[in-house]
Structure 1
Amino acid sequence: MLNFELAAVEEICTELASRLRAHRLAQNITQAELAGRAGISMGTVRNFESKGQATLESLIKIVMALGLAGSLSDLFVLRATTIRDMEKASVRRQRAGGAR
């Protein structure tokens, strides 16, 4: 398993593409079927799976078409590790008042 903290951007992209390709194959879906379900071109699917390159929107469409949207809900959630972190996270920022 790739350690994302030590990996280069290209390695992470390739790993994510590989994981999603494995899900596609496990569901016995062709690239053309996935493209149709996701509403993207087959070239986009092919490019993503081979090079790990896609727009964020295309990536999300692929994830949704594979039924994996629930996996996205835990991405980048701010996790408090200390009481101070929890207090910081709960404070809502407001815009400063303008000069009058």
Structure 2
Amino acid sequence: MSFTFDVDEFEQTPQEVLAQLVQRTREAREKAGLSRQALADRTGISMSTYKHFEETGQISLERLLIVAEALGCLSDFGQLFAPRITPKPSEFPSLDQVEQAFASKKPAKQRKPK
């Protein structure tokens, strides 16, 4: 098991996260080959509401979920606010265990030059 920690993840403002969400939604719509109107028609959301979202980032959560579903991204919202698994200190391997693991690995065979 490996753990990563991305400091940049915590340095974003809500406005930056919102701008990224709008950009990703626009990119997903374009990748799907849909115009704003086509996506609005597919979701039952008015064109003006969807256009307002892409221009300002403002949309109801329910409508955003409908858009995500139409773009095949609804499952991404399942991770929002999901409990994060934080290992206990006792779950980390000791330095001795790490050294033993590396020592037990056989070096890769090297090819002889022809």
Query: Per the shorter chain, which TM-score range?
Result: 0.7 to 0.9
Question: How far is the alpha carbon of 1:72 from its aligned partner?
Answer: 1.6
User: What is the distance in 1 between the residues matched to 2:9 and 2:63?
Assistant: 21
| TM value normalised by structure 1 | 0.72
1:5 is aligned, of 1, 6, 10, to 10
Would you say how many aligned residue pairs link Structure 1 and Structure 2? 82
Name 1:15's counterpart in structure 2: 20
Q: Aligned to 1:73, what secondary structure does the other structure show? A: helix
Q: 1:4 to 1:42 in 2, by over 3 A?
A: farther
* Mapped contact 1:38–1:61 kept (Cα < 8 A): yes
How well do the aligned residues superpose, as a CA RMSD in angstroms? Answer: 1.8
Per-residue Cα deviation, 1:7-56 (whole angstroms, up to 9, x for no partner): 22222111100001000001110101111111111111111111111111
The answer to which structure, 1 or 2, has the higher relative contact order (CA under 8 A, 6+ apart) is 1
Name 2:38's counterpart in structure 1: 33
| TM value normalised by structure 2 | 0.64
5+ residue gaps in structure 2? 1-7, 89-114
* 1:1-100 superposed matches below 5 A: 3-82=8-87
The structure whose Rg is larger is 2
> Which segments of structure 1 move beyond 2 Å, counting only runs of 4 or more?
none
Identity value in percent = 33
